[in-house]
A and B are shown apart, each in its own frame.
Chain A
Amino acid sequence: MSGYAEGLLVLLSINVIVAYAAFLPLAAGQLNLGVAGFMAIGAYAAAFLSNTLGWPVFATVGCAALASGAAGLVVGYPVLRARGIYLVLATLAFGELVRSGLLNLDFVGGAAGYPVSGYAGYQAVAGVALGVVAFVAWLYHTRLGLNMMAVRDDEVAAEQFGVKVRNVKAAAFAIGALLAGIAGALYGHHFSYIEAQHFNVVQSVYIAMYVLLGGVQTVAGPLLGALFFTLIPELFRVGDTWRFVIFAVVLILTMVWRPEGLVDRDLLQRLRPGRAR
């Protein structure tokens, strides 16, 4: 595999994982614009454990996931009391808080960035991404998945049938944060260097767009959104300086054409052979 293809595969894998990190809260109706913040927590936790304690990569990634997942739970419970635009602002503020906090923490490099000693090859990163897709697909089949969809659609009706709305939202938010931590840890271990500035609001917005473009109704949606966002700018490399303009136009047209995202349940039902509709 060429260096370019490897690099692209790693980027794609990480984007797929963070897409699901944003997807899970969105599936329960919560827009998290702080995903990059949870990525940063994972990246720095893994790097610190690797650099100072010499832990193997699988252990640092596991701990990074737990750290960002725990942060998601701690932040999520109070923050999820806020609704709509206020929740979005709170998560955005959280992401910025993490970024600016890390920027001032000298023991992890501060503004100079932080080299990461343990290395994760492209095979490992892609393997974990596949595992995450399988995990989310399974989760979406469970009653928790059903509850998430019910909460997104109508909280009051869901509660009348015994859905613990707040717990469902917090679980979706925390599991999403855990996935973001995995993505951040893998990013650091592959590129061997992290800096707080990388995990900024623009990242978080992009990540949310993967999901909104791909669609929040199905597990296939975020996957397609991440593919689209990773590969389309590459395809437009020919007109280098214009590629993001072309990309933005494609994005706007897509949202006009399919406001619910590229993939929705209707589409999947139609693709399923031999099913009563």
Chain B
Amino acid sequence: MQGTGVETEIGRIGATTESSVGDFLQLMKPRVMSLVVFSALTGMVVAPGTIHPVLAVIALLAITIGAGASGALNMWYDADIDAHMARTAARPIPRGRLTRDEALSFGAVLSLFSILTLGVLVNWTAGALLAFTIAFYLFVYTMWLKRRTPQNIVIGGAAGAFPPMIGWAAVTGSVSFESLLLFLIIFTWTPPHFWALALYRCRDYERVGVPMLPVVAGPTETRRQIWLYSLILVPLALVPGFIGLAGPAYLAAAAGLGATFLYLAWRVRKITQGREADTAARNLFGFSILYLFLLFAAMLAEHVAMQWLA
């Protein structure tokens, strides 16, 4: 269906026009959902034990929809600031394709459905973790921390780190050290990932009053903290290779990817002026997504290969 020609314009929420299924999909942040589903799948595959393939698909579906629901609830709450930021001005609510009420009901209903489905059909440890993740993302990150403290994405990042733990719990019905390790890898990956973005989107955040680290503490301090978190992340990502959660192929991949991550983070730290500084931050941001994806892909592929060969 076609809208009635409302232009995307930074700073205002457009008049409501006709919405399409695509607008509801966009509300669920499909790119975030794809990373969530992939990390949850990895958690499920590397977890000890077995799960019926149909139940595994249902669990993944519920986790994916739960992630999408929290994205919709985030867009409902943040519609006012989304309208003022170049990166988010084209989202369905600022464009006037959906109303805030529609986003709220959509997010709330999907949250409830996904939690109930995972809890009833798979197990309640996984269901409770999914409920906690959605609540954490909405109440702790979106409503409480995001507009108040530069630690917003550090603490709020926990919400994005839960999916492999939920996947693991779907198979085992419990939380263990290994699943906590998967959580910690994503948790320490989040700050350098988001702060690299915030470095070159600093003005956007400043305009809407979101206290991202570059806005509050300045780019120099942000660059220092990106470097420090990278120094924690890279060795931490090697640990699965030493505790039996992953094997030598993963370890080699984690080492190679980690070295590249550190190199790019070092460039962000050292190049502080002009266009090159922006480019360095963009490169780190882009690579950070690939890094996490390849890290989990290596773990997943190695595990599947080992099972196949056994």
Bound pair (A, B) = no
By a beta-carbon cutoff of 8 Å, the part of chain B in contact with chain A is none
